[in-house]
Structure 1
Amino acid sequence: MADLPRHPVAVAAAVTNDHGLVLALRRPEDGRWEPPGGMLELAETIPDGLRREVREETGLEVEPVRLGAVYQNTTTGTIVLTFRCRVLGGRLTVNEEASEFRWMTADEVREQMPEIFAGRVLDALADTEPPLRLHDGKRLTAHW
């Protein structure tokens, strides 16, 4: 069993404000709009990793409110847990991972984010049972 490959685990945050808008950051390497998030470190809990990733990428301190969805990239095997989060404090700060920030409506998320990132955000904003979704790194391929 020790020789079996492992699935990497990542987190993504749909950070909302008091006006119902969701935070997007622009990646400097490709200009894409995405929610904050990234890979969990081996010894960290899911909530701690989520808070760390958001703090590193945005400067904000957040609290997870609810699980929005579970995504599996069928190409890389990466599992992504998406959460709706609320801001506790901090200040948006441009850095090497985020060249710009924007508070977006759900419609703007649909229009400006790549499909897999928009899906994560919209799932986290929905007040439904969190779905399990499969994707190939670019497009959603299945869900249940």
Structure 2
Amino acid sequence: MLFGSGTDPDPELTWARGVTLVADDGTYPELDHAGLVGVVGSSIAGLDALAFATRHPGLVDRVVLVATPIPEDEGGLGFELSEVTAKTLLLFGAKDPLTGSRHGTWWQKRLLNARLEMSPQGGHDLLLAVWKRVLSHLAPHCKR
């Protein structure tokens, strides 16, 4: 499930990886799905991805946050960050003036199972540039 983008960043790559992508508008639809799912949140929509993961801990096993800013009010999220149990990949751009390494490090310290990767030349609009890495995290052993 992709939060923060209405379209697939690279449909050919997504298909080749064996991933079925569902874009969400933040309404958290109930999924009719047999098996585990991964969620991706780009920019501020990363908070929506985390909220979805905490609402469905038995369903969501992997999360990717791409250039997600530190929340203004951690207590106002509606969930505790310690509730995020999914394996989480944090992707941030080193040249991002909005959410550079400081934001990535903040998330890494607060999410129990998180790995931070910095894109040396990446800015805030990072989703397309890191899409291959996103898919490899969401579906590590899947390919068509």
Name the TM-score class by shorter chain. under 0.3
TM-score, length-normalised on structure 1?
Answer: 0.27
In the superposition, the TM-score normalised over structure 2's length comes to 0.27
Which of 1 and 2 has higher RCO (CA within 8 Å, sep 6+)? Answer: 1
